[in-house]
Amino acid sequence: MQTKKQMSDRQPPVSAEEQAARRNLLVQDVIERTGITEGMIAELVTRFYARVQQDALLAPIFTRVQDWDDHLARLKNFWSSVVLTTGRYHGQPMRTHLPLPVAGDHFDRWLDLFEKTAREVCPPAAAAHFIDKARRIADSFEMATATQAGRIASPRHIFRS
Ligand code: HEM
């Protein structure tokens, strides 16, 4: 049974409009603090995957990509959705990564290249924002792919220096 205090702590339900307004404010704040634009996302994605395709460890995993224009368009939409919450990406990235033959060293290299590119392409606050998101997502993918392969991984990328 709930006490009077617990009942009075309950917040009134937030409407969908109110939630959308709060989200917009958060995104507006990100844009003002970081200056991230669609153009910056496009440049980051293009340069990053050019590097991936030259990388001895990662390139073999990406040979399954048949249509690079489509892949780059998808990834631009993905980052636009993650950072600017535009909702342009419709996909299941976790499911895409589960069958990939990847382990810790692949994730480390992926982040090495992504972070290097973000720092080259973006001003510091924007680079920090992309990097924070990428590290969290990489952690979640690494833990899930490890579990799928019968291994156990723990979150660690968030502690990269
Ligand atoms: C070990 C590191 C990683 C490797 C080797 C890798 C590899 C790949 C490959 C090969 C694909 C294409 C799959 C296909 O078309 O069949 C792909 C798709 C994708 N990757 Fe990664 N990835 C890695 C990490 C990440 C991370 C950390 C992110 C996000 C921050 C990410 C985001 C995506 C997205 C959004 C797609 C498109 C999924 C879709 O088809 O909708 N990847 N990745």
pLDDT at 64 over 80: yes
pLDDT tens figures, 132-161: 999 999 999 999 999 999 999 999 998 898
Give distance in angstroms: CA of 62 to centre of ligand 1. Answer: 9
Q: Is the pTM of this model over 0.75?
A: yes
Residue 114: how many CB atoms within 10 A of its CB? 21
pLDDT tens figures, 82-102: 999 889 999 999 999 999 999
pLDDT for position 7: 59
Pocket of ligand 1 (CB under 6 A): 58, 61-62, 64-65, 74-75, 78, 91, 93, 96-97, 100, 102, 106-107, 110, 134, 137-138, 141
- Residue ranges of domains in the chain: 36-159
User: What do you get for the CA distance between the two ends of the chain, in Å?
Assistant: 48
CA angle 33, 35, 38 (to 5 degrees): 140
Q: What is the C-alpha separation between 129 and 30, in angstroms, rounded?
A: 8
Architecture per CATH, 36-159: Orthogonal Bundle (1.10)
* Phi/psi at 11 (5° precision): -85, 145
Instruction: Give me 14's structure tokens.
Output: 């937030």
pLDDT tens figures, 126-136: 999 999 999 99
